[in-house]
Amino acid sequence: MEGLIDMVDSQELSRRQRNQLNHRRLAGFTLVWLLSLALVYFGHRYLWGGAALVTAAMVGLNIIAGIAMMIANKRLLAGLDELEQKVQLEAMALALGAGLVGGFAYSALSQTGILPFHAEISHLAVFIALTYLVAMVKGVKKYQ
């Protein structure tokens, strides 16, 4: 997998070009991961009639796509300068903390019947993503 990500890096690129390339790679692998996840859900229901073996194989492919996305993200972070890394680290730390604390609180409210609906993992994913996005915007503004 690492070899696939390294293909274009054989040429000398400026730091800015390398960061743009790393952003595009991350976006591409994220899109592949999201599409493969959607395929698991919709394929299970509409394409292969709930066949467990096919669904398990598709989940395996989704995990591989997710690992490629994580490697691309690590690659992106390694190519950033110290200030950009600091902004990313602060945003990721806030998103992780908010996700853990908020996620367990949300689950507790759902499990105890206080929420009038069932807690879904997708709600937590959106909450974490929005927390990260807001923290990134604030971090960039803070260090401008």
Q: Tell me what pLDDT residue 1 has.
A: 59
Q: Tell me what pLDDT residue 3 has.
A: 58
Q: Tell me what pLDDT residue 123 has.
A: 96
User: DSSP secondary-structure letter at 114?
Assistant: -
- CA-CA distance, 22 to 79, in Å (whole number)? 8
Report if pTM > 0.75: yes
Q: Tell me what pLDDT residue 13 has.
A: 81
* Domain limits, the chain: 1-79, 81-144
What share of residues in the chain are helix, strand, coil (percent, to 5)? 85, 0, 15
- Cβ atoms of 138 and 101 within 8 Å: the answer is no
- CA-CA distance, 14 to 20, in Å (whole number)? 10
Tens digit of each residue's pLDDT, the chain (144 residues): 555 555 555 457 898 999 999 999 999 999 999 999 999 999 999 999 999 999 999 999 999 999 999 999 999 999 999 999 999 999 999 999 999 999 999 999 999 999 999 999 999 999 999 999 999 999 999 998
